[in-house]
Amino acid sequence: MKKIECVIFDWAGTTVDYGCMAPVAAFVESFDAIGVPVTAADTRRYMGLTKVEEIRALFRIDRVAETFRQKYGRDFNEDDVQARYADFQRILCATLDRYAKPIPGVVETVETLRARGIKIGSTTGYTTAMMDIVQPAAAAQGYKADSCVTSDHLPAGRPAPYMLYQNMINLAIPSVDCVVKVGDTMADIAEGLNSKVWTVGVILGSNELALSEEEVSALPAAELQARMAEVRRRMTEAGAHYVIDRMAELPRVIDGINLRLKQG
């Protein structure tokens, strides 16, 4: 009988870095440096892609492209993309270790899953060099994945399925039916669906909710619930099989999936 054998998590905004703050700040700073501002909301629209692809997407925003044209008298090109990407990496790598704290409930949930014999994989929009900073910093605070795959040496990152499939190879998982993908962005959900695995969106701590832990605590309950409901709607419309408020709900979701698998 098939059952869930592996959960593949995203990193920033899902397991670490509550609110997915590190890349937002680095994108904003790198574009400010050339006098072509992007907003935090701009960056969050494309979060979950590889970072160079997100920079290309940011340059293609009509307002951003026009600002660049007015300032430099020409359209942006790939050299501009690569220059912003280099600056983004410099800024991000200088701060990443500060954003590796596990999101509440993650460490305990992973312990619960491992006790059930479930393997822990991960995919990310970060590069290997970035993850070489994040992984040890997160491990020192209690969270470690059994497999971490970046897109560096694969045909593409999200929303393509290659990183997820490489996790399955690394962890010897025989069927997509036995895999759950958990993430906090639309790109995560697309990755899961394109991989044909069970796909779960998580709201609190997510890029989509776009709030720090302190901001969540300070919001009136009714406003927080309204914002969470809007994220749930977007994730559901994007095709997520399940959407959970917080990571502690994941074992119960897996129980439900296993029951569905048992029933065929």
Pairwise CA distance, residues 215 & 255, whole Å: 32
Choosing from 2, 3, 17, 51, which is the catalytic residue?
51
So what's the pLDDT on residue 264?
A: 85
10-residue block means of pLDDT along the chain (264 residues)? 96 97 95 97 93 96 98 97 96 94 98 98 95 97 98 94 98 97 97 98 97 96 98 98 98 97 92
10 counts as catalytic: yes
> pTM of the entire structure?
0.91
In DSSP notation, 7-40 reads EEE-SBTTTBSTTSHHHHHHHHHHHHTTT----H
Name beta bridge partners: 6: 119, 179
So what's the pLDDT on residue 1?
A: 83
Pairwise CA distance, residues 247 & 205, whole Å: 9
Pairwise CA distance, residues 1 & 14, whole Å: 30
71 counts as catalytic: no
Q: Cα torsion for 208, 211, 217, 223, to the nearest 10°?
A: -60
Residues in the chain: 264
Choosing from 10, 80, 184, 188, which is the catalytic residue?
10
